Structure 1
Amino acid sequence: MSDWTCRTGGCRCGRLRFRITASPIMTMACHCRGCQRMTASAFSLSLTVPDAGFAIEKGTPVAGGARELEGLQHSCCDHCKSWVFTRFPAMMGEYVNVRSTLLDEIDDIAPFMETCTAEALGWARTPAVHRYEGFPQADEFHTLMAEYAER
Structure 2
Amino acid sequence: MSDLKLPIEGECRCGKVRIRISAPPMLTMACHCTGCQRMSASAFSLSVAIPSAGFEVIAGETVIGGLHGDMSKHHHCDWCKSWMFTRIEPDMGFVNVRPTMLEDTGWFTPFIETYTSEKLPWVTTPAEHSFATFPEMSAYGDLIAGFARTKATG
Range into which the TM-score falls when normalised by the shorter chain: over 0.9
1:3 deviates by 3.9
Equivalent residue, structure 2, for 1:95: 94
1:47-96: CA deviations, max 9, x gaps? 001111001111001111033x5411110000000000001135x70210
SS of 2:125 mapped into structure 1: coil
Measured in 2, the distance between the counterparts of 1:87 and 1:130 equals: 23
Equivalent residue, structure 2, for 1:62: 63
Equivalent residue, structure 1, for 2:144: 145
Unaligned 5+ runs, structure 2: none
Please tell me whether residue 72 in structure 1 is matched to residue 72 in structure 2.
yes
Equivalent residue, structure 2, for 1:128: 127
SS of 1:9 mapped into structure 2: strand
AA paired with 1:66? Answer: L
Unaligned 5+ runs, structure 1: none
Contact 2:115/2:133 (8 A) holds in 1: yes
1:88-142: CA deviations, max 9, x gaps? 135x702100001111100110000000000000011110000000010011000
TM-score, with length taken from structure 1: 0.94
Measured in 1, the distance between the counterparts of 2:108 and 2:117 equals: 23
Runs of 4+ in 1 over 3 A off after TM superposition: none
Equivalent residue, structure 2, for 1:107: 106
Measured in 1, the distance between the counterparts of 2:47 and 2:106 equals: 13
Aligned length: 149
SS of 2:67 mapped into structure 1: coil
CA RMSD between the two structures: 1.3
TM-score, with length taken from structure 2: 0.92
Measured in 1, the distance between the counterparts of 2:100 and 2:24 equals: 16
AA paired with 1:60? Answer: E
Give the fraction of aligned pairs with identical amino acids, expressed as a percent: 46
Measured in 2, the distance between the counterparts of 1:111 and 1:84 equals: 17
